[in-house]
Amino acid sequence: MVFYRPGLSGAGGTGRTSRQQGGTAGRIAATARALAKEIVAKTAPVSVALIRQMMWRMLGADDPMEAHKVDSRGIYARGRSEDVKEGVVVVPGKAAAEFKNKVSADMPDYFPWWNEREYK
């Protein structure tokens, strides 16, 4: 559901872990920042928002099928979005995808899928 093509693996894209590179906390932080920047640049914001909510809300679901139902709806909705078309037509290394859907306006119609609890 996240329209993203990973380019980094391990530490700094080498496939080796930071420990194998004699890494320090600074290298680990730099690698994490580089990966975060790549994710921000190459993923559709609406997809990221949906996944974030699913992770927070579905980890405590009473049955894995509940998460599957929400995920399936997300795949269907996002698969029909303008963002997926943009992500598919962009040639890696040629141009960056310009995801047009906005979290503030383009969340799928089933969002939010949960009922807020009433606190007393």
Three-state DSSP state, 67: helix
* pLDDT tens, the chain, 120 aa long: 444 445 544 444 555 554 555 568 888 999 999 998 988 888 899 999 999 999 998 888 889 999 999 999 999 999 999 898 888 777 676 778 889 999 999 999 989 888 888 888
pLDDT given at position 34: 94
Task: Answer whether 37's CB lies under 8 Å from 107's CB.
Answer: no
pLDDT given at position 5: 47
Distance CA(17)–CA(9), nearest Å, equals 9
Residue keyed to tokens 């383009």? 106
Closest residue by Cα to residue 100 from 116, 113, 111, 89: 89
